[in-house]
A and B are shown apart, each in its own frame.
Chain A
Amino acid sequence: MSAHRREGFVLATAVGIVGVTFGVLADAAGLSLAQVVVMSALVFTGASQFAAVSVVDTGGSGIAAVGSALLLAARNALYGPVVARVLPQAWIPRAGSAQFVIDETTAMASVQETDDDARDAFWWTAIWLWSLWNVGSIGGALLGSVIGAPETWGLDAAFPAAFVALLAPHVRKRPGQVAAVVGAALAVAFTPIAPAGVPLLVAALAVIPGWLVGRREAAV
């Protein structure tokens, strides 16, 4: 198996275990198995699903659940232009492939050197991730609270660490470094004062200082 397919599988395995947690939480919040299946297969953006379920669990309204989930899903729109080049050109397959444009697939595609590798990495990550996320959440919903908290296994550190590896190729040059530092600072600054999802939308503004630095370097 080539490196990026293997890495996609590693990431998807961790995501699958988180899917189990999602299934357990959804079950505890009173969602039916059918609702869990529909959510994981069709919403397919983990952070949003967790947000929706936790709002429902704490007695929030359906509108509040959808609102906070969509704030978290909004960054997927920003990933569109990043991966657009390696998606099918024809209209209908292109629209279909959009379903798989999320953090993990964008990250795996964006660290490849060639377009062919990026396309391959995108689709293999998408297939592994979608399969294991669904198997995990169905398993969690069925097994309920039999399984211990994933925090015991340090799983909550698996994602940020994986993304450090996926960030590395993007910060080799100055504009990327500036965008990353400003993005992290903005996300941290807005976390205590804004609803979940908003800090990352604000972090996207960090592309502007990064771009300015790049332009100034090009002018010198």
Chain B
Amino acid sequence: MLVVGAYGLKVFGVLVLGRPDSTLGARLESLTSLIPAALFAGLIAVQTIGGDETLMLDARVWGVAAGSVAVWRKAPFVVVVLIAMAVTALVRWQT
């Protein structure tokens, strides 16, 4: 059931919402091009300060903040990820 549902949602997105020649698709282009900005920002927020249906601030915040500085300084992708992990692990270990 979960397999069918999860795949069904993906197929619906690609085949129906993402039809290449649909006029609806063309008209929605300016909206759908903003989906990554809206969803990734939401994802970052939830994964940084979200708990189990609560908000909580912990070592992740420091790690993500350090990672964001690395992004801003145009650090390579792997460096961003490693800095975020190292800072989070360090803060967690210290507290």
Contact = CB atoms under 8 A, between A and B. Distances in A.
Interface in A63-116: 65-66, 69-70, 73-85, 87, 89, 91, 94-95, 97-99, 101-103, 106-107, 110
A161 B14 contact: no
Nearest to B83: A161
Nearest to B47: A160
Interface stretch (A22-30, A127-135, A137-145, A200-208): A200-208
Contact of A164 (B2, B53, B71, B90): B71
Contacts of B49: 188
A33 interface: no
A206 B38 CA distance: 6
Contact of B60 (A153, A160, A184): A160
Contacts of B59: 154, 157
B55 A101 contact: no
Contacts of B48: 157, 160
Contacts of A3: 77
B18 A10 contact: no
A167 B68 CA distance: 10
Given A44-B6, A73-B9, A154 B34 contact: no
B56 to A, nearest CB: 10
Contacts of A21: none
Interface in A142-193: 151-168, 170-171, 175-177, 179-188, 191-192
A45 B63 contact: no
Interface of B: 1-3, 5-7, 9-20, 25, 28, 30-50, 52-55, 59-60, 63-64, 66-68, 70-71, 77-78, 80-81, 83-90, 92-93
User: Sorted from nearest, which 4 A-B pairs have the closest CB atoms?
Assistant: A80-B13, A84-B18, A161-B67, A203-B42
